[in-house]
Amino acid sequence: TIANNGLAGVIPQEIVSLEKLDVLGLEQNSLIGPIPSGFAEGLYRVRLQNNALSGPLPAFPESVLTIQVEENRLSGDLAEAVANLPNLKKLNVNDNRFTGEIPATLGSVSTGVKEIRLHGNKFTGQVPSDLCVLRMQNFDFKRLSVDCGRVECECCAPECPSLFNP
């Protein structure tokens, strides 16, 4: 990774053609602009938190285990980006500018998911019931955070008051 190195500018589109890229670790820099799309299978970890990246979150390959893009300026809808991530363990998209409802597809992510952080965005509606069911069935699913005043969540304890208490 090239974390915390004072890198500035955009992430070049050519990075997606790196055949053996398994960790995209550019966190805590001064990167701007969109996240390139078209990464190949074999990418496992996306760590781009604490930059100034903007635009939508692209779809990542099914091999991805971790997406950490918190504290950027990413925006738009999450539905397409999280539609097909069967191996996902951690999704941290908090403190961005995402809008719309929390995608129902999050309820069908990997049964091994451990953490989903959605707070600090402009999501509305409610956490999909399938995601709450997944959380109740998976004791390793320790953290599910949303903006409690804006999004209804029956399974986001202790962050939001609810009947569910892990």
Per-residue DSSP letters for 99-151?
EEEPPGGGGGS-TT--EEE--SSEEEEE--HHHHHHHHH-TT--EEE--TTTE
Question: How far is it, in rounded angstroms, from Cα 71 to Cα 132?
Answer: 25
Q: Cβ contacts of residue 124 below 8 Å, gap of 6+?
A: 99, 100, 101, 150, 151
pTM, whole model, 2 decimals? 0.92
Q: Could you tell me what percent of the chain has a pLDDT over 90?
A: 62
Confidence check: pLDDT of 164 > 50:
no
Most confident of 74-78, 128-132, 157-161: 74-78
Question: How far is it, in rounded angstroms, from Cα 105 to Cα 87?
Answer: 13
pLDDT tens track for 65-123: 999 999 999 999 998 899 889 999 999 999 999 999 998 888 877 778 999 999 999 99
Tokens of 27: 């966190």
Average pLDDT of the chain to the nearest whole number: 90
Tell whether omega for the bond before 158 is within 30 degrees of 0, i.e. cis: yes
pLDDT at 159: 67
Question: How far is it, in rounded angstroms, from Cα 27 to Cα 49?
Answer: 5
Do 75 and 52 meet the contact criterion of CB atoms below 8 Å apart? no
Q: What is the mean pLDDT of residues 39-51?
A: 96
Instruction: Compare 164 and 63 and report the one with higher pLDDT.
Output: 63
